[in-house]
């Protein structure tokens, strides 16, 4: 946790907003993941839960790690990993359309953290 606090204090406003957007995207991704998991338990077989975890849960966990520690490449990786499934979910008529906003939040966070790094150098 000391690494997180030290890195957060060294950021300027752009980087802090990037961290905040990344954490907000992660929290909303957790909510979407829980909603989809609850829906899948009711209407489908239990074999879909690991698939949902790999598709929605893994990017959320990696996004949380990238947000807390400010790992820019990991944030870009999370965006690329979550983009295809979020585009698929955006085309469905359900609450899962919001996962596209989660993916765009990862992208915005990564861009702001990249800008912060360039400003500090």
pLDDT for the residue numbered 2: 44
pTM of the complete model beyond 0.75:
yes
Query: Which two tokens mark 31?
Result: 């909510």
What does pLDDT average to in each consecutive run of 10 residues of the chain (121 residues)?
Answer: 54 81 87 78 70 83 85 91 88 80 90 87 79
Position 79 scores a pLDDT of 93
3-state helix, strand, coil in the chain (%, to 5): 90, 0, 10
Q: Give CA–CA dist 75/81, Å, rounded.
A: 10
**What are the boundaries of each domain within the chain?**
2-28+45-120
Q: How far apart are CA 30 and CA 5, in angstroms?
A: 23
∠ CA 74-20-22, rounded to 5°: 30
């Amino acid at each position: 946790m000391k690494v997180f606090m030290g890195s957060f204090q060294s950021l300027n406003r752009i980087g802090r907003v990037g961290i905040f957007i990344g954490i907000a995207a992660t929290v909303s991704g957790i909510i979407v993941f829980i909603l989809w998991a609850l829906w899948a338990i009711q209407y489908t077989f239990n074999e879909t839960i690991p698939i949902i975890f790999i598709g929605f849960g893994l990017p959320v966990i990696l996004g949380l790690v990238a947000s807390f520690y400010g790992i820019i490449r990991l944030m870009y990786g999370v965006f690329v990993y979550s983009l295809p499934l979020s585009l698929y979910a955006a085309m469905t008529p359900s609450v899962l359309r919001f996962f596209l906003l989660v993916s765009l939040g990862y992208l915005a966070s990564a861009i702001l953290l990249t800008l912060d790094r360039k400003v500090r150098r």
